[in-house]
Amino acid sequence: MPSPPNITNIPAPRVPIIDERTGLLSREWYRFFFNLFNLTGGGGNWTSLEDLQVGPPGATDAQFESSRVVAGLLTAPDGSAQESQIAVLQSQVQGLSLGPSNTPHVPAPIYGSFYSTIDQPDGSNTTAYPLVMDTVQTSQGVSLQDRTATFTAAIGPASTTMTVTAVSAGPIYPGMVITGTGVTAGTYIVSQTTGTDGSTGTYVVSASQTVASTTITGTCKSKMILQEAGVYNVQFSVQFINTDASIHDTDIWLRKNGVDVADTNSQFSIPNRHGAVDGHLIAALNLFVEAAPNDYVELMWATSNSATTIEYIAAKTAPVRPATPSVIVTVSLASVPSILGV
C-alpha cells in the first residue's frame, strides 16, 4: 500500500501565526508552511500544479494516485535528505515546548525617592547649603551619595561645642554626620557659630560629649547620581519654619556636578511668627535637567535670616497623622530610557 501524502491541514483561525511566548512563528503554522514547501518540490519545482490537488488518503482514486507521486518524492534519491530535514524540524518543535518562556525587552524605569528626618538649620545667611536626605524610600537608576569633609576638631568638654582647627578636605556643612575617635555614634553638625564658613571655627553638634582633638570625617547625603543619560524631572518639597517676628526670604536652586544650573532658582517668603505660633511654609517645585551618565545633581538653599530653618516635624496625635519630613525629593527620568538587555 502506498504511503499517505505528507499533508498538514491549514490551522484553525483561532491559532495565531506568531507564538506570543516566543515572538516567533507558531509551530502549527511552521509545520503547515514546511509541508507546503515540501509539496511544491522543496525549492526544486518537481511538483506540478496537478500534484498539489491532493486530498486526504482514500478520498478518491484520482487523489490517491496523486498521493503516490508525493510519496515517490520521499523514496527518491534525495528522500533521505528530506527525512533528515523533517527530523530536525521535529526536534526544533519539541525544543519550543520545552524551552523557557521568552522574556521581552522592556524599558527600565529610572527613579529615586529620598527624604530627611532631621532638622537642617542655616549656619550662615551668606552661605549656600545642600539639602540633605538621610533616607532612601525607593530607588532604581538614581542613587544617593555623600558629600565628605575631613578636619581636625575637638568637642566639649561635656558640651555640644565643636572647635575645628584645620580642614584637610571640605567644606563642612550643617547636617553632616561626624565620625572619629571618641565621637558618639549618630552625632551630626547642627550649625556653625563662629569662624570661616565651612572651615575653621566653632560648630554646634547634636550630642553633648567630650572628644580630644582628633581627625573627624563629616558626611551628608546630598548628591543624587543619575545612572542614565536623558532629561530628568526633579521634584522637591521643603518644610520651612520661621521663629522670627518678621517675614524672611529663602532661595532653592539646582546644582549639577558642583556647578549652579542657570535660571533654576526660586525664592520663597516664609511667614513670620504670629502669637505663640512659628511661621511655616512648604516650598515645592519641579525642575527639568539634562544629564549625561553618572552626572550628579544637588538642591541648594540659602536664607536671608538664620531664624528661618528647615524643620522635621514628628508624628502627631488628635488626630493621628504621620511625621513631616524636613525635605522630600523625587527624581525620575522624563525621556525614554534604554532597553534592558540590549
Amino acid identity, position 336: V
pLDDT at 233: 97
Q: Computed from CA positions of residues 30, 31, 37, 42, in that sequence, does the dihedral angle turn out positive or negative?
A: positive
Contacts of 289 (CB under 8 A, 6+ apart): 231, 232, 234, 254, 256, 261, 264, 297
C-alpha cell at 42: 522543496
User: Mean of the pLDDT values across residues 73-83?
Assistant: 53
% residues pLDDT > 70 (the chain): 75
Question: What per-residue confidence (pLDDT) applies to 93?
Answer: 62
H or E element, residue 69: helix 61-75
| Average predicted confidence (pLDDT) for the chain | 83
pLDDT, position 335 = 83
Find, among 221, 276, 195, the residue nearest to 243 by Cα: 276
Q: pLDDT at residue 21 above 70?
A: yes
Burial of 197 from C-beta contacts in 10 A (0-12 / 13-18 / 19+): middle
- CA–CA distance from 257 to each of 236, 260, 271 (Å)? 19, 8, 33
Please tell me the chain's helix, strand, coil percentages from 3-state DSSP, rounded to the nearest 5: 15, 45, 40
Over residues 168-188, the mean pLDDT reads: 91
pLDDT above 70: residue 231: yes
- Considering only residues 120 and 105, tell me which one the structure prediction assigns the higher pLDDT: 120
Residues 6+ apart with CB under 8 A from 17: 25, 26, 29
Name the range with the highest mean pLDDT among 12-16, 62-66, 186-190. Answer: 186-190
Share of the chain above pLDDT 90, in %: 56
Q: For residue 87, what pLDDT band results from cuts at 50, 70 and 90?
A: low
Is a pLDDT exceeding 60 seen at residue 6?
A: no
pLDDT tier for residue 29 given thresholds of 50, 70 and 90 = confident
Q: Count Cβ atoms below 10 Å from residue 247 Cβ, excluding itself.
A: 16
Query: Does 140 score more than 90 pLDDT?
Result: yes
Helix (H, G, I), strand (E, B) or coil at 243: coil
Closest residue by Cα to residue 57 from 118, 133, 3: 3
Q: What is the mean pLDDT of the segment spanning 76-94?
A: 61
Highest-scoring range by mean pLDDT, 61-65, 67-71, 203-207: 203-207
**If pLDDT is split at 50, 70 and 90, which confidence band does 342 have?**
very low
> Residue 80: is its pLDDT beyond 90?
no
- Whether residue 46 is predicted with pLDDT greater than 80 in this model: the reply is no
What was the pLDDT predicted at 178?
A: 94
What number is the average pLDDT over the span 141-166? 95
The three three-digit cell numbers of residue 28, written as one number: 502549527
pLDDT at 18: 85
Angle (CA) 339 329 230, round 5°: 30
